[in-house]
Amino acid sequence: MRVPRLLLLTDRGQLLPGRGLVETLASCAAAGATTVVLRELDLDEPARAALADELAAHVQVISARTLLPGAAGLHLAAHQAAPAPAGPPHGRSCHDEAAVARAAEEGAAYVTISPVAPTASKPGYGPALGAGGVRRAVEAADGLPVLALGGVSAEVAARLRSAGAHGVAVMGAVMRAHDPAVVVAALLAELGEQ
């Protein structure tokens, strides 16, 4: 699995009224986004699989928590057991350096470290780790790509890369945007990808 500099996470509950998830991600792909973690855990597996199929026409799909047919990989919550070594490539949500080190040992393809800043998607969740927390996570990762997540915007993306992050993972800033493609383009520009 190629780990992108910008990883999108879905939450159709944060979309503006009248906007669909597939159309949103199609516009993000047109702006340069390549990979998305499909969350939507309120849907049953057949509905998530159908949504993954639709999204795969636009972006590489990584499935959250359970592997969906056709997904390029699996994104695990902090508390989930790692798949068997012969299993699909996987990433893991982490919230401190110890979890990052464990993910590296278990053979994860990447980790997200969060929250790096206060986030509207999970108000009160934290404390925010900041650039220092990202630096510590990168040190613990032993070469594993670290994506900074939580409160990420184009204004802080370059600073997070300077702290050592491979890139950023973003949900709310894109899902809530009036023009998600503009947000994606700005993030990619700050990450040096455009």
Altogether, the residues listed in the chain come to a count of 194
Strand 167-170 and strand 35-38: the pairing is unpaired
- Record the pTM: 0.95
pLDDT in tens, the chain (194 residues): 889 999 999 999 999 999 999 999 999 999 999 999 999 999 999 999 999 999 999 999 999 999 999 999 999 999 999 888 778 899 999 999 999 999 999 999 999 999 998 777 776 677 889 999 999 999 999 999 999 999 999 999 999 999 999 999 999 999 999 999 999 999 999 999 87
- Dihedral, CA atoms, 45, 49, 51, 55, nearest 10 degrees? 150
How far is 193 from 177, CA to CA, in rounded Å? 20
Distance of CA 25 to the CA centre of its chain: 13
DSSP letter assigned to residue 153: -
Of the candidates 141, 145, 115, 108, the residue with the CA atom closest to the CA atom of residue 130: 115
By three-state DSSP, how is residue 21 classified? helix
Domains defined along the chain, listed by start: 6-190 (3.20.20.70)
pLDDT value, residue 124: 67
